[in-house]
Amino acid sequence: MNTIRIFRCKPFALWVLLVSTGLQQTHAQFADSTNAIVPLVLLAEAQVSVGTSFDDIAKTDAPKATAILSASELESTVSVTDALEYVTGVDIRNRGAWGIQSDVSIRGGTFEQTALLVNGMRWSAPHTGHHLMNIPIDPEDLSHVEVVRSGSGAMAGAGAFAGSIHLRTNTPVEETAASASIEGGSFGWNRLRLHADIVDGGFRQRISLSRAQTNGHILNSDAQITRAMWNADWSNGPHRWNGLVALEDKAFGAQNFYTSTYPDQFEVTKAAVAQLNWETQSASWKASAGAHARYHRDRFELYREGSDWYELTDDGFYVRPPLAPSTQADTAGVYAPGASWYKGANQHRSLTGAVNAKFQWFGEQSTWTTALDVREEVIQSNRLGSTQPGAPEVFPLGDRRTNLDAFTSWKWVNSGNNMAISATAGVNGNSRFGWRALPSADVRYRFGQDGNWVAFASAGRSVRHPSFTELYYTVGGAMGSDSLKPEWADQAEVGVRWSSEPNGFRYWIMVEGSAFVRQGENLIDWVKYLGSEVYQATNLSATEFRGGDLAMTIKSMSGLLRSVRLSGTWLDANRESEGAESVYVLNFLKYKLDAVTEWKLPSDVGLAIRYSHQERRDSNEVPGTQVHLLGLTLKRSWGSDSHIHTSFRVENVLDQQYMDLGQVLQPGMHFRLGLTFDIRGIKPSFN
């Protein structure tokens, strides 16, 4: 189904006026202050990896276009995707509010073409990319989020096809502390979160637990989310370790989520992740290694089961109690006459196990890096895969595959550090799909009188393998194909970046512009041909995507306006649907305009304003489907040591009626009110 977006007003002129006024007031206050020095706050504290094979580097030196979400943008959200909605080049397609389920695409890529890395380890969801963002970590437990807007080949692993998202967890640094938070809001929303930071010398831990639930904004959109996490850093001489264990349990009404033919769907997902990272270094080399495991369980009911929903009868049909005196819904009735094919819920469980290692040697001007990531992806299911002898009765089908990503990189930096060049020879091998070379290269050149101009360019190849759903799913009007080929792309990007010097400006500014082209081959999509009622997984012929973006970030340590991020993105493709409806590949944001500002109002009240204008092109290149999203957050700290925090967050202030996917209606204006108590300076005794 085409995305439906209803447009009600045009607040952009007002938005520009607000930003301009704030900048004038901020500049005036700087002019009156001769001693204020603004540090490089954009990423001085939080370095970025930008999908390269080398150490974290400053954002100003990144050879690729990136965007960074700081902790202040994450602290009032309940899912990472809430914050990603307003990031340059990112398309968040929601099913339900508050991150119940969200697909993430970058620069027109599908939700399957985005890689997710947490503390440097790639997470994969071989069952389906719809579950990749089932992240068992609360946003409050992240130090920052990095978005790389281009494919990263072997460096970020198979799946970093169009871009990647990098999450960094936040462990305590100085003192033991704890907090308790409670929230309430629209549609019966409520959330309780507890967390504790424990510091004992060089051993730092964070433990958090949260539970949220909602009645839903429409029928069958209720949900509950439970998360638990343990994260720790510790050092032993030159060795540093990081450990993470996280759990998530989620259940939600899935009204129209995957098809409007059978609207009363329901889903339960469970995720468990454990990983361990180690690193050590000397003056001339650095080594690191990691191990990761992710277990995911999914139960999907095409007909929601329960006393008020559908119940299995003796003759093998799921029947719902009468909705009206003369009607009764069942699997052979209103929605699917004669649908005796429905035998109950789809059940799947997948396990991904991975190990990786990296070694770097530092020369006088060159750095050599070699790295390896090996992972096993396994699925057990009653719908996906082939028959497995001796398999459990609930999961008679299954499949498995082994994937290897490896590369060797060389990076050269000249003596003045104004030029850096890198070249990478990468390879991907898969036990089912064979081998593919993944070369890449990038360059960064710093110029200008103060060296505050940077030109950058990159080129490379990326690959993605079909998910098990794309290979095998054959239920409810969808037909997978076990003959699908991997999709791959050659892509190139050029850009320029300017940043102000802190001693030349009283606020810090960065402007970045880039353009890209991505030539995709064998792109995997679900399509419905004219005259057919079945969606089929297929490989499309060559498709070229091209576009660009322009972003500006301003940071200030004083004044009314503390930060601004303005960005615009445009995107196009060289083909149309050609007689078929494309669900994902040819349904993308053609234009996107984002603005995020943070203000410091009188009485120490913080105000954040978020705006996004989005115009989508569907598979038939129908123009004009657009939406304006506006969000506001007010927050303030109280008490002599600011240990009490209140927040009020409103989403969709303009009360837009729109659909991101299919016939899944998104909520209108809704709010959350939060209260947090901090406890600091705890000095526990460890005996």
- Domains of the chain are 12-321+350-682 (2.40.170.20)
Q: Which residue has the higher pLDDT, 670 or 258?
A: 670
Range with top average pLDDT, 29-38, 302-311, 432-441: 432-441
Residue 10 pLDDT greater than 80, yes or no = no
Q: How many CA atoms lie within 13 A of 436 on its CB side?
A: 23
Q: 246 burial class (0-12, 13-18, 19+ CB within 10 angstroms)?
A: buried
d(CA 298, CA 481): 21
Do 217 and 232 touch, CB atoms closer than 8 A? no
pLDDT attached to residue 488: 96
Q: How many CA atoms lie within 13 A of 512 on its CB side?
A: 27
| Full DSSP string of 605-669 | EEEEEEEEEEEEE-TT----EEEEEEEEEEEEEETTTT-EEEEEEEE-TT---BBSSTT-BPP-S
Q: 673 burial class (0-12, 13-18, 19+ CB within 10 angstroms)?
A: middle
Q: Where are the beta strands (DSSP E) in 448-576?
A: 453-464, 478-479, 487-499, 508-521, 524-529, 535-539, 543-555, 561-573
Tokens of 265: 């769907």
Residue 400 pLDDT greater than 70, yes or no = yes
Residue 245 pLDDT greater than 80, yes or no = yes
Q: Using DSSP, state whether 28 is helix, strand or coil.
A: helix
Phi first, then psi: give them for residue 139, nearest 5 degrees. -55, -30
120-138 average pLDDT score? 95
Q: Who contacts 216 (Cβ-Cβ below 8 Å, separation ≥6)?
A: 96, 187, 188, 222, 223, 253
d(CA 525, CA 523): 6
174-190 average pLDDT score? 94
d(CA 21, CA 42): 22
Query: For residue 344, what are the CA distances in angstroms to 168, 222, 229, 499?
Result: 39, 21, 33, 58
Minimal CA–CA distance to 647: which of 606, 596, 601?
606
Residue 39 pLDDT greater than 50, yes or no = no
pLDDT digits (tens, 9 = 90+) for 458-483: 999 999 999 999 999 987 778 999 99
Q: 396 burial class (0-12, 13-18, 19+ CB within 10 angstroms)?
A: middle
398-402 average pLDDT score? 98
d(CA 684, CA 397): 51
d(CA 313, CA 323): 17
Tokens of 443: 């360059």
Minimum mean pLDDT range among 166-175, 292-301, 378-387, 430-439: 166-175
59-88 average pLDDT score? 90
d(CA 220, CA 366): 58
pLDDT attached to residue 42: 32
pLDDT attached to residue 202: 84
Minimal CA–CA distance to 231: which of 118, 79, 351?
118
| Full DSSP string of 238-257 | TEEEEEEEEEEEEEEE-TTS
d(CA 567, CA 549): 7
Pairing relation of β-strands 114-118 and 121-123? antiparallel
Residue with token string 């070229």:
544
pLDDT attached to residue 12: 37
Q: Using DSSP, state whether 60 is helix, strand or coil.
A: helix
Minimum mean pLDDT range among 11-20, 56-65, 362-371, 568-577: 11-20
d(CA 122, CA 164): 10
pLDDT attached to residue 676: 96
Tokens of 469: 């759903």
pLDDT attached to residue 262: 85
pLDDT digits (tens, 9 = 90+) for 221-237: 999 999 999 999 999 88
Mean pLDDT in the chain?
Answer: 86
Phi first, then psi: give them for residue 461, nearest 5 degrees. -120, 145
Do 84 and 142 touch, CB atoms closer than 8 A? no
Minimum mean pLDDT range among 44-48, 397-401, 491-495: 44-48
Tokens of 145: 């989020």
Tokens of 19: 């930003």
Q: Whole-model pTM?
A: 0.89
Percent helix / strand / coil, the chain, rounded to 5: 10, 55, 35
pLDDT digits (tens, 9 = 90+) for 316-356: 788 888 766 555 677 765 555 555 677 889 999 999 999 99
Do 79 and 542 touch, CB atoms closer than 8 A? no
Q: Who contacts 649 (Cβ-Cβ below 8 Å, separation ≥6)?
A: 76, 631, 632, 633, 634, 671, 672, 674
pLDDT band of residue 579 (cuts 50, 70, 90) is confident
pLDDT digits (tens, 9 = 90+) for 297-309: 999 999 999 988 9
d(CA 543, CA 521): 7
Q: Using DSSP, state whether 153 is helix, strand or coil.
A: helix
d(CA 498, CA 514): 12
